[in-house]
Structure formats: C-alpha cells, structure tokens
C-alpha cells in the first residue's frame, strides 16, 4: 500500500516539476518542499508500521507487513550518497540548483518505493545517473546529427585538406602553449591514475555498473561531462602529492602481501586511464564541441536577461575586452544572474556589438524524472539493458540466416 501511494506521489511530483521546468525553465522551491514533505510523511508511516510490527500489534492494517530496522539507516545512507552526487554535479556546474534538488527528492522516492533495487543503498545513485544522462545524451546527439545531415552538401564542399592542415597547426600551438604547464599535467595524470585505481578497488558494488565496454563508456561519459571542473581539482599539486604517496605506499604493501593481485590492479588502472584518455580526446572535440556549436544562437544585447548561458566564444571575447573585470563569476549551469546580465549588456552595448552568441538551454527535469522511472521499472541501468538486447540480436542473426538459407 505504501509503495503504491509513494509511486503515485512520485508520478504527480515528477510531472508537476517537469511541466514547470519546461514552461518556465525554473524549478520552484515550493514544489521541492512539497515532494520532500511527502517523502518524510511516507518514511514516518513506514516507521510507525515497523514499530507496531516489532511489538506484534496491529492498528487499522498497520503492523502486518513491516520493514526491518536496518532499512532506515540504509535509506539514510542512500539519501546521503544521492545528496553528495547532486551537490557535486551542482558545484561542477553540470546541473543548476533546482535540478540537483529535484534529483535528491526523486532518489528518496526510489528508496522508499523499492528498497530492493540493485545498488541500494550504497550505489543506487550511480544507475540513476546513468539512466538520466545516457538517454539524454543519445537524444541530443541524434538531434545534432540530424541537423548536420541537412547540411551535408555544404560539408562535402569544404576544403578538408586545408581544414586538416589548420587543425594540425592549431594542435602544434596548443602543445607549445601547454609545455610550461607540463608539471600540472603530470600531476593530473597521477591523480587520474589514483582515481581509477580507487574505482577498480571499490569492489563488486561499483564494478557491477561499470562492467563491460558499454558500462565503462557510461562511466567515461559521466566523467567527460564533468571534465572541465574535475580537471581543476586533478591538477592540484597537494592532491597530486598525496595521491602519489598513497599509490607508492599501497603498491609497496600490496606487492608484499597480495603480490600478483596488486600488480593486476595496477595494470588494470593503467589500461583504464589510457582508454579514458583516448575517449576524452575523441569525444570532447567531436561530441561536446559539435553539440555546443549546434546549440549556439545569436541574440541582440538588449535580449540579454537572467539565466542566459553565454557561449565560450562570447565569454572569451568579454575577457579580451577587459571585462567583466571581477564583476561576474565564471558562469555555470545557472547562467547569468540579473546583475551579471546587466553588466554584460552594458559591455556589449558600449562595444557596439550587433549580437552575441549564447547557448540554447534545455529543461532537464524531464530527463531526471525519466531516469527515476526507468530505474524503478527496469531495476537496472540502460547500459546493461542495451547490452543485453544487443547480445540477443547478435545471437538471433545466425539463427535467422540459417532459417533463410534453408
């Protein structure tokens, strides 16, 4: 009864927030508070049911089927993990604050509706995130490719030899400019290696969601989305020194006590880091840059308002012009505030710019809602579901070929 009531509450809450985000591109705190209050009432209901059940008492149907006391610390652990994941995505400017709050409340609903979901309590937030970002990424990439296909004739007409030559010159310039920062990149490599070593040693709980090529690509994709702010942390020398010392100490102890198992984990982490480097070097220019370029549009300075996300091109132009001179914080997923929009508007008008490029922002609450529903219905992550279906299709191809030939 409580699971059904919670599921109805999830549907009502998720639909209300998704519609509001689509219409106004904003999630009000009032809706978040309503969803949080509903979850709190349902947890209180479950607690009462457990208290009566352990006393072998029944009141109006309560106390019959009840959850063990161990469920409630597990639910708290799940909420804490989901909250930390949401805060990280918000601080890394991947999600605005409203989306982070919405994700946390939906994660609470999932833990209340079905405590037997794979990964609960420690790692349930990970399949939730995979089921949010992977479908959204597939749809956004498909939309971008469809738009590009309509301009295929213009793409064929381009002088690709000259394009490749200019890109090679650009790569040489970037390598030359990066050379003075070689120590920072060395620190970053050490930190990335340590990160993958920790993930590989995290146990079966985490590995279940990163198993196989598709699972690993999903984890890589999540890291690529957060790469820009993540790289700033990974280039921290203090973090790098601590990570280097920890790797040396763990490797020395492991080679003495566990020997080949430690060596295997070191090699696996090194291979994973190399694979991630290839994925990042290919995906960021081909996917991130492509999607950003296709989502860019031009606005007049007077159209600048709160919530607008400037393109990197416009941001660099403002920095070169001497602004915003500390008056504007580096923009995130929230876009510009009202005061920041006024400052940028003044800079553009004084510069006499006829227009500036901004990015089209897409309401993301629907995808968070979809990810929660998919997790509850499939009891898995979309990467595992796709992998299973691809395997079934591959197994059916020889059978179909045999039936056709006969």
Place of tokens 């994973």: 272
371, 14 contact by CB (below 8 A): no
How far is it, in rounded angstroms, from Cα 2 to Cα 368? 23
Instruction: Answer yes or no: do 23 and 70 share one domain.
Output: yes
Is 195 part of a structural domain of the chain?
yes
Is 118 part of a structural domain of the chain?
yes
Which distant-in-sequence residues (6+ apart) come within 8 Å of 89 by Cβ? 95, 99, 100, 103, 226
Which pLDDT score is estimated for 13? 96
Mean pLDDT computed over every residue of the chain: 78
- The total number of structural domains in the chain stands at 3
pLDDT at 289 over 60: no
Q: Estimate to the nearest angstrom the gap between the alpha carbon of 112 and the chain centroid.
A: 23
Instruction: Answer yes or no: do 174 and 277 share one domain.
Output: yes
CB neighbours of residue 80 within 10 Å: 13
Instruction: Answer yes or no: do 268 and 189 share one domain.
Output: yes
Instruction: Answer yes or no: do 219 and 283 share one domain.
Output: yes
Which pLDDT score is estimated for 401? 63
Upstream peptide bond of 261 is cis (omega within 30 degrees of 0): no
The residues pairing with 338 across neighbouring beta strands, listed in sequence order, are none
Look up the domain containing 244 and give its range. Answer: 159-294
- List the Cα angle 155/158/162 in 5-degree steps: 135
Instruction: Answer yes or no: do 74 and 88 share one domain.
Output: yes
124, 78 contact by CB (below 8 A): yes
Stretch among 163-167, 181-185, 211-215, 263-267 having the lowest mean pLDDT: 211-215
How far is it, in rounded angstroms, from Cα 364 to Cα 384? 23
How far is it, in rounded angstroms, from Cα 249 to Cα 254? 8
Instruction: Answer yes or no: do 229 and 303 share one domain.
Output: no
Number of H helices, E strands in the chain: 18, 3
Instruction: Answer yes or no: do 113 and 209 share one domain.
Output: no
Which pLDDT score is estimated for 285? 60
| Boundary (domain end) residue, out of 271, 294, 317 | 294
The residues pairing with 310 across neighbouring beta strands, listed in sequence order, are 358
Is 377 part of a structural domain of the chain?
yes
Is 168 part of a structural domain of the chain?
yes
CB neighbours of residue 226 within 10 Å: 16
Instruction: Give me the count of residues in the chain.
Output: 406
Which distant-in-sequence residues (6+ apart) come within 8 Å of 270 by Cβ? 193
Give the model confidence (pLDDT) of 360-379 as tens digits.
667 889 999 999 999 999 98
pLDDT at 104 over 90: yes
pLDDT at 19 over 70: yes
Is 382 part of a structural domain of the chain?
yes
Instruction: Answer yes or no: do 87 and 178 share one domain.
Output: no
Which pLDDT score is estimated for 283? 65
pLDDT at 403 over 70: no
Is 149 part of a structural domain of the chain?
no
Which distant-in-sequence residues (6+ apart) come within 8 Å of 30 by Cβ? none
The values of phi and psi at residue 356, to 5°, are: -145, 160
How far is it, in rounded angstroms, from Cα 54 to Cα 358? 59
311, 359 contact by CB (below 8 A): yes
pLDDT at 394 over 60: yes
pLDDT at 10 over 90: yes
pLDDT at 237 over 60: yes
pLDDT at 204 over 50: no
Which pLDDT score is estimated for 375? 94
Is 345 part of a structural domain of the chain?
yes
pLDDT at 381 over 80: yes
pLDDT at 200 over 90: no
pLDDT at 55 over 90: no
Which pLDDT score is estimated for 332? 58
| Boundary (domain end) residue, out of 241, 276, 294 | 294
Instruction: Answer yes or no: do 267 and 310 share one domain.
Output: no
Instruction: Answer yes or no: do 184 and 74 share one domain.
Output: no
The residues pairing with 299 across neighbouring beta strands, listed in sequence order, are 356
Is 59 part of a structural domain of the chain?
yes
Q: Higher model confidence: residue 144 or residue 251? A: 251
Which pLDDT score is estimated for 44? 93
Name which of 74, 95, 75 is nearest 85 in CA terms.
95
Q: Higher model confidence: residue 52 or residue 112? A: 112
Instruction: Answer yes or no: do 305 and 324 share one domain.
Output: yes
The values of phi and psi at residue 55, to 5°, are: -90, 5
Q: Higher model confidence: residue 107 or residue 330? A: 107
The values of phi and psi at residue 93, to 5°, are: 60, 30
Instruction: Tell me the three state secondary structure of residue 62.
Output: strand
88, 106 contact by CB (below 8 A): no
Which pLDDT score is estimated for 153? 59
Stretch among 62-76, 262-276, 322-336, 346-360 having the lowest mean pLDDT: 322-336
C-alpha distances in Å from residue 13, one per residue of 21, 89, 270, 275, 395: 12, 22, 44, 40, 41
Q: Estimate to the nearest angstrom the gap between the alpha carbon of 125 and the chain centroid.
A: 11
How far is it, in rounded angstroms, from Cα 34 to Cα 29? 9
Stretch among 35-39, 204-208, 255-259 having the lowest mean pLDDT: 204-208
How far is it, in rounded angstroms, from Cα 22 to Cα 304? 20
Instruction: Answer yes or no: do 289 and 170 share one domain.
Output: yes
């Amino acid at each position: 009864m409580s699971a059904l009531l919670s599921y109805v509450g999830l549907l009502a809450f998720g639909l209300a927030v998704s519609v509001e985000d689509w219409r106004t591109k904003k999630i009000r705190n009032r809706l978040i508070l309503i969803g949080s209050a509903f979850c709190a009432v349902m947890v209180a209901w479950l607690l009462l049911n457990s208290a009566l059940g352990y006393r072998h008492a029944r009141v109006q149907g309560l106390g019959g089927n009840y959850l063990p006391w161990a469920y409630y610390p597990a639910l708290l652990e799940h909420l804490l993990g989901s909250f930390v994941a949401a805060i990280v995505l918000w601080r890394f400017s991947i999600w605005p604050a409203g989306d982070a709050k919405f994700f946390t409340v939906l994660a609470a609903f999932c833990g209340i509706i079905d405590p037997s979901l794979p990964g609960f309590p420690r790692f349930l937030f990970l399949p939730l995130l995979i089921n949010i970002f992977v479908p959204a990424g597939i749809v956004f990439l498909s939309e971008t490719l469809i738009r590009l296909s309509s301009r295929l004739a213009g793409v064929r007409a381009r002088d690709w030899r000259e394009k490749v030559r200019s890109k090679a010159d650009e790569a040489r310039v970037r390598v030359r400019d990066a050379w003075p920062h070689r120590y920072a990149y060395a620190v970053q490599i050490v930190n990335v290696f340590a990160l993958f070593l920790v993930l590989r040693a995290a146990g079966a709980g985490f590995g279940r969601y990163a198993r196989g090529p598709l699972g690993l690509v999903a984890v890589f994709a999540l890291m690529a989305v957060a790469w820009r702010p993540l790289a700033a942390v990974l280039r921290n020398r203090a973090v790098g020194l601590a990570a280097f010392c920890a790797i040396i100490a763990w490797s020395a102890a492991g080679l003495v006590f566990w020997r080949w198992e430690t060596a295997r984990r070191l090699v696996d982490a090194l291979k994973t880091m190399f694979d991630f480097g290839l994925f990042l070097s290919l995906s960021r220019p081909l996917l991130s840059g492509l999607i950003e370029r296709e989502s860019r549009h031009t606005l007049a300075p007077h159209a600048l308002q709160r919530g607008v996300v400037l393109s990197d091109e416009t941001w660099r132009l403002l920095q070169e012009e001497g602004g915003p001179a500390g008056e504007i914080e580096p923009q995130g997923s929230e876009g510009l505030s009202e005061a920041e929009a006024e400052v940028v508007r003044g800079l553009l008008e004084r510069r006499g710019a006829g227009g500036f490029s901004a990015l089209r922002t897409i309401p993301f609450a629907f995808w968070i809602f979809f990810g929660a529903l998919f997790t509850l219905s499939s009891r898995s992550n979309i990467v595992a579901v796709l992998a299973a279906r691809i395997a079934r299709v591959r197994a059916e191809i020889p059978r179909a070929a045999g039936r056709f030939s006969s």
